[in-house]
A and B are shown apart, each in its own frame.
Chain A
Amino acid sequence: MSLKSCLGAAFAAVALLASPAGAQDAEKTLYFYNWTDYYPVELLAKFEKETGIKVILDGYDSNDTLLAKLQSGGASYDVIVPSDYVIPGLVKDGLLMKIDTHAMSNYAHMKDAFKNPEFDPRHEYSAPYLWGVTGLAYDSAQVPGGMLEPSWKEYFEPRPELAGKIAALDTASDEILAASLYLGIPQCTESNEDAARILALLQAQKEKLKLYSSDSTVDRMASGEVAMHHLWNGATARATAQRDTIRFLYPKEGTPMFRDNFAVPANAPHPENAKIFINWMMAPENAAAVSNAIAYANAMKSDEFLSDQWRKMDAINMPEDFASRLVATQDCNGKARELRDRIWTRLKG
């Protein structure tokens, strides 16, 4: 290769490297709105060092809080992390910006199973972040025999020894969805009969619960305060790291799955920085750094970077044959939401 072509290649490389910087927003900041404690802050320092963009991170606690903030229109963030079922609604309401994830350079690293998801078929608006399931965690040391059946029955109609030692999630949608799966009722039911059956099941179960809480779940399991918890797999894994008798169940009647995604709101003040960030997060090394810290699986071909601690846990590394149990969450319409609301109010009234 001549000196000239060498120089030319170098120039081209520089130009290529420089081009994302050229597309950067003038202001080198990024407002990142994510679930609290769902992102390792150390990684933001690395991002800032590599791109010069300073990330300001705020946290929310549920998709509803995120929706409330977005739909009120008063707040403008650059990157948000909505769950799968929320995205079609956001797109329909014109609240998301088209970012064409499929054209990003790191898109090639995505596992095939995560391409073309039904909530964003061509990956125009979102990029996968982490995914997990909501199942049952139990402490085998507190369970006679040390084993439970992988069924919601253990939770809704518990063995007498476990009564008073069970924690439920304090979220109407999670509880009602689990009850629906157990009873074989469609998850966004608008039928009064179905609602009455769900309510009866939950009311009977309430007697046997210690509490409803979606807070401090890892601590509750790790300290042995409860023997069973309606819980997310990542939280279970983090509790297991502290108390090795904890096990996770993927209930056979259906295990709700959530897939959280990066997206950019339509009114984002720094959309170019947002795209740089999302592409950066799709690099296997960075995706794995998140998984190692947060204990949820990502969608990238990043297995080589994953820590052994998580790799050997059922809660994180789902056995292949459970895949058929996974159920995607749906965004229920107003009528179904109102019905849920009534079930919940009756249950707690």
Chain B
Amino acid sequence: MSVAFRRLCLLSPALLVILLLVGVPLCLMAWVSLLDKGGSAGVDWSSAPSAANYVRLVWEEDFDGTMILNTGYLLIFLRSVALAAVTTVLSLALGLPVALWMASLSRTGRDVMLLLITIPFWTNLLVRNYAWLIILREDGWVSQFVNMLSPWPVQLLYNDAAVAIGLTYSFLPFTILPLYTVFEKFDWRLLEAAHDLGATRRRALRRVVLPIATPGIVAGALLVFIPCLGAFVTPALLGGGKTLMLGNIIQMQFGASRNWPFGATLAVVLLAIMLVVMTAMALWRNRRTA
């Protein structure tokens, strides 16, 4: 049995499962995004493919009949990307020190921390968001405390900040775990060497730790950014529903609006945004590790 054949046997089951259940559906979805919606719901499979759904994203007939630039969807895209970016940065800023500290602990200490980091993660996403709803609500003690200190009334809930807090909370372990994996295998003698050679801690951090952490940073950033982009529970619960995000409008098309092809179009656009971000990250990673 040749090495290559054995490798193929080992690899193909997983690849097949993913291609059939993820790859094929995506291609089908891209095709559907060019079709027309069915009578009461679903897809009109016999309709001629056209780019009408994509045109609708940017241009629309105004309520007075003229064609105008439709900023509604563009704004939603921008807001989703911005919120996802803020969450990613927050998660990395919090995750990096935690991962560094964990790696400096004893074996038992690390295991305990790993356990502690993963446990909140085991509670359901909806429930976690709901817990924040209880904490940030107006008559809650956090809100009362903040308002005691602040000279003007502050509302903690139902704004973009609350959404960012909730999203960061949900995805923080996704940055800590990959970074920790990197640091755990890190040969700390390198750092001692840098230290012995007179490098300051800041310099050592920038020149030794960060380059090594790059794969972890990239992995963590992607793991946070992507689910955030498609998030729809958190904006709905903590954002007070005043602003929609990409995830919400996709779900809306498959639900209330019953327009599957347009939902597919929005999903394709979401994928495109993601691809751009990933390419940028890959370029950045290559430059850093080059």
Contact = CB atoms under 8 A, between A and B. Distances in A.
Interface of A: 62, 64-65, 67-68, 71-72, 89, 93, 170-173, 192-193, 195-196, 199, 206, 209-213, 215, 223-225, 334, 337-338, 340-342, 344-346, 348-349
30 contacts: A64-B256, A68-B41, A68-B254, A68-B258, A71-B40, A71-B42, A173-B256, A192-B65, A206-B242, A209-B242, A211-B242, A213-B236, A213-B241, A215-B237, A223-B139, A225-B137, A225-B138, A225-B139, A334-B37, A334-B39, A338-B257, A341-B252, A341-B259, A345-B73, A345-B76, A348-B243, A349-B71, A349-B72, A349-B73, A349-B75
Given A223-B139, A225-B139, A348-B243, A64 B258 contact: yes
B192 interface: no
B220 to A, nearest CB: 30
| 6 A-B pairs closest in CB distance | A211-B240, A212-B241, A349-B72, A196-B63, A192-B63, A170-B241
A210 B61 CA distance: 31
Given A67-B258, A213-B241, A225-B139, 14 more contacts: A68-B254, A192-B65, A199-B63, A209-B242, A210-B158, A211-B242, A224-B139, A225-B137, A337-B258, A338-B259, A341-B257, A342-B60, A346-B72, A348-B76
B254 A348 contact: no
Contact of B64 (A64, A173, A192, A210): A192
Interface in B145-160: 157-158
A211 B221 CA distance: 31
Contacts of A344: 252
Contacts of B65: 192
A65 to B, nearest CB: 6
Interface string B174-216: 0000000000000000000000000000000000000000000
B74 to A, nearest CB: 8
A346 B72 CA distance: 5
Given A210-B240, A225-B138, A338-B259, A345 B62 contact: no
B249 interface: yes
A97 to B, nearest CB: 18
Give the interface residue-count category, chain B.
Answer: 35 or more
Contact of B41 (A67, A193, A340, A349): A67
Contacts of B256: 62, 64, 171-173, 341
A341 B56 CA distance: 12
Question: Interface majority SS on A: helix, strand, loop or mixed?
Answer: helix
Contacts of A223: 139
Contacts of A93: 39-40
A211 B162 CA distance: 13
Contacts of A62: 255-256
A163 to B, nearest CB: 13
Contacts of A67: 40-41, 258
Interface in B55-107: 60-65, 71-73, 75-76
Contacts of B62: 192
B71 A193 contact: no
B218 interface: no
Contacts of B72: 342, 345-346, 349
A186 B154 CA distance: 40
B244 interface: yes
A171 B236 CA distance: 11
Contacts of A173: 256
Given A192-B65, A193-B63, A345-B76, A68 B255 contact: yes
Which of B62, B63, B75 has its CB near the most chain A CB atoms (within 10 A)? B63
Contacts of B237: 213, 215
Contacts of B39: 93, 334
A28 B211 CA distance: 64
A213 B240 contact: yes
Contacts of B242: 206, 209, 211-212, 348
